Amino acid sequence: MNRDEKMIEIKDLFYKYPDGTNALEDVNLDVCKGDSVAILGPNGAGKTTLLLHMNGILSGRSGLVNICGLAVNKENLPKVREKVGLVFQDPDDQLFMPTVFDDVAFGLINMGLEPDEIRRRVSDALKLVDMADYPERTSHHLSYGEKKRISLATVLCMDPEILVMDEPTGNLDPRHRKEFICFLKDTDITKVIASHDIDMVLSICNKAAVFDKGRIVAFDTMDKIFGDKELLKNYGLD
């Protein structure tokens, strides 16, 4: 694996919501192959807004976002979304089909895969999130934690090169949180994880970016970030 290969390159990115809120200000961030980068910072710091730029759901008023060397723009969007699997914070933003099978198969059908391949990938992804018995269940009747796991399956089945996750452990019960952490530790897929779950990011991530008021105030290895008591105190990470 070439760990110098840039999987995500963000340069001078600014984003303002239509109501005038400045959510990102001059953000610069590189994520290399095999990196697991934690995105930390208080509520409203801009973490979710940044993640939504990584597969083109939002696009900045200035600056650039490249995924595996491809600019995130209208033309490249289908290719970018094949590379980046984004797991939303709220699973209700991810699940919209009548059954679990339909939700997990949705992206695979769009990719034009054969029915046998689709069934195999859905079944494998459901096993990974310990939901093998759920394909016929109604997605919107599941508990929040179950929906979170199905949301992860909808992304894993696409075999993305980069996994981008927004608060992935929120509402997971302790056993499934632990399984989720073990799974992420074992896979060398490139990851970006916005979270307040410090124990989780400490066990998975090698780097962290700390956000405050739309800006990156620190970006370094986990050791350096979590060795800086002053920084941790200032941004409520201690």
Ligand X SMILES: Nc1ncnc2c1ncn2[C@@H]1O[C@H](COP(=O)(O)OP(=O)(O)O)[C@@H](O)[C@H]1O
List of residues contacting ligand X (CB under 6 A): 17, 19, 21, 23, 41, 43-49
Q: How far is the CB of 61 from ligand X (least distance, A)?
A: 14
Give the bridge partners for 62, in sequence order.
14
Is residue 55 a contact point for Mg ion (CB under 5 A)? no
C-beta of 9 vs 90, nearer to ligand X: 90
Q: Which stretch binds Mg ion (CB under 5 A): 32-40, 44-52, 124-132, 202-210?
A: 44-52
Report the partner that residue 4 touches, choosing among Mg ion, ligand X, none (CB closer than 5 to 8 A by kind).
none
C-beta of 105 vs 210, nearer to Mg ion: 210
Report the partner that residue 73 touches, choosing among Mg ion, ligand X, none (CB closer than 5 to 8 A by kind).
none
Residue 191's alpha-carbon distances to 115, 168, 205, in angstroms, are 29, 12, 8
Here the tokens at position 121 are: 């990938």
Here the tokens at position 44 are: 């409203």
Report the partner that residue 230 touches, choosing among Mg ion, ligand X, none (CB closer than 5 to 8 A by kind).
none
Report the partner that residue 91 touches, choosing among ligand X, Mg ion, none (CB closer than 5 to 8 A by kind).
none
Give the bridge partners for 13, in sequence order.
27
Report the partner that residue 143 touches, choosing among Mg ion, ligand X, none (CB closer than 5 to 8 A by kind).
none
* Closest residue to Mg ion, based on beta-carbon distance: 48
Burial tier of 159 (Cβ tally within 10 Å: 0-12, 13-18, 19+) = middle
C-beta of 36 vs 48, nearer to Mg ion: 48
What values do phi and psi take at 129, rounded to 5?
-105, 15
Q: Give me the amino acid identity at 213.
A: K
Q: Given the structure tokens 């991530």, which residue do they identify?
A: 205
C-beta of 76 vs 171, nearer to Mg ion: 171
Provide CB contacts within 8 A for 186, sequence distance 6+: none
Edge-first strand order for the sheet with 6-16 is 22-32, 6-16, 62-67, 70-71
Q: Which residue from 36, 48, 151, 190 is in contact with Mg ion, where contact means CB under 5 A?
A: 48
Name which of 16, 46, 15, 51 is nearest 31 in CA terms: 51
C-beta of 42 vs 145, nearer to Mg ion: 42
C-beta of 27 vs 131, nearer to ligand X: 27
List residues binding Mg ion (CB under 5 A).
47-48
